[in-house]
Amino acid sequence: MRVYLFGYSSDDFCGRVIVTPDGRTIGQLANQLVAWGPAPERGGPLTVRNEAGEILDPGSTIAEAALGPGDLFTVERG
């Protein structure tokens, strides 16, 4: 199933809407979001949090992480 999510990166001032299959992993979702940011070449570990601030496992799928249509997530670098 496709879901639309609102993503925010710690090093970007813009939020982004991502429409993606819920079978993608949280890690893939994070990589896609930072690829659209102002410094996609910047490396470092990525931490993904849901709207409640809980850290999401990068290996779990969007569906397994219980992210659904309209949910917010944040990607933190470093």
CATH number of the structural domain spanning residue 47: 3.10.20.270
pLDDT of residue 12: 83
Query: Whole-model pTM?
Result: 0.91
Domain count, the chain: 1
Query: Residues with Cβ < 8 Å from 6, sequence gap 6 or more?
Result: 15, 16, 17, 18, 70, 71, 72, 73
Structure tokens at 3: 């879901």
Q: 50 is in which domain, residue-wise?
A: 2-77
Of 47, 33, 41, residue with least CA distance to 77: 47
Could you report the per-residue pLDDT of 52-69, keeping only the tens digit for each?
A: 999 999 999 999 999 999
pLDDT of residue 70: 96
Structure tokens at 72: 């917010």
**Mean pLDDT of the region 21-43:** 90
Which pairs from 35-39 meet CB under 8 Å and 24+ separation? 37/9, 37/11, 37/12, 38/11, 38/12, 39/11
